Each structure stands twice: as C-alpha cells, then as structure tokens.
Amino acid sequence: MKESKIALGTWAWGAGAFGGDSVFGSKTDEETLRPVFETAMKAGLNLWDTATVYGMGESERILGTFVKEQKREDVLVSTKFTPQIAEMYENSVGKMAEAQWNAWA
C-alpha cells in the first residue's frame, strides 16, 4: 500500500451540537460524505484523521462505516482520544481505544 502524504480531517463530520451542520452550516452526514470518502480513496488519499471528540463520536462512527467496506490494509486512520471526556473509571484511555477499535472492526 502506498500511503498518502496528506491526511484528510474529519472534524466537521456528523450532525448535532458539535457536527458540521451546527459549526459550518453544511450537511455532513453519511449520505453526503460517502462520495467524498470514495473519491479520496480512488485518488490515493487513504490517510484519515479523526478523534473521539469530533462530533462527539459521530465522525468516528461515519468513518468506521466507510472503513469497514475497504480492505483494512488500504486505509490508514490517525485518531486521538481525550480521557477527560471518558467516564471516570480505571483505564479510561484503554476503554476509549477499545471503543474506537470496535467502531472500525
């Protein structure tokens, strides 16, 4: 796999209080974003940047839906997680990482 030198950000993906519709006034739901993802992948842009706090999880849910339809080795995902928004329990970082993995697996 040839990896992209450009990462595509998903900060504005999703709807609701923290999604692209509220922040930018644009429709950034799964239906609208699917052609963006597919076109980028066909052009060789396969590095995606996301985080748990993007759309309060909506970004990762949408990206996970698209990634599941690809060969895993063809997609690179760079993600960040924020323990401060996790429930206050032991190993919150591990729990958030596991939740992200489950979104893409």
Active site residues: 54
Distance of CA 5 to the CA centre of its chain: 18
Give the angle subtended at the CA of 21 by the CAs of 81 and 53, to the nearest 5°: 10
Q: List the structure tokens of 96.
A: 């958030």
For residues 74 and 45, give the distance between their C-alpha atoms in angstroms, rounded to a whole number: 10
Q: Which of 58, 59, 44 is nearest to 9 (CA)?
A: 59
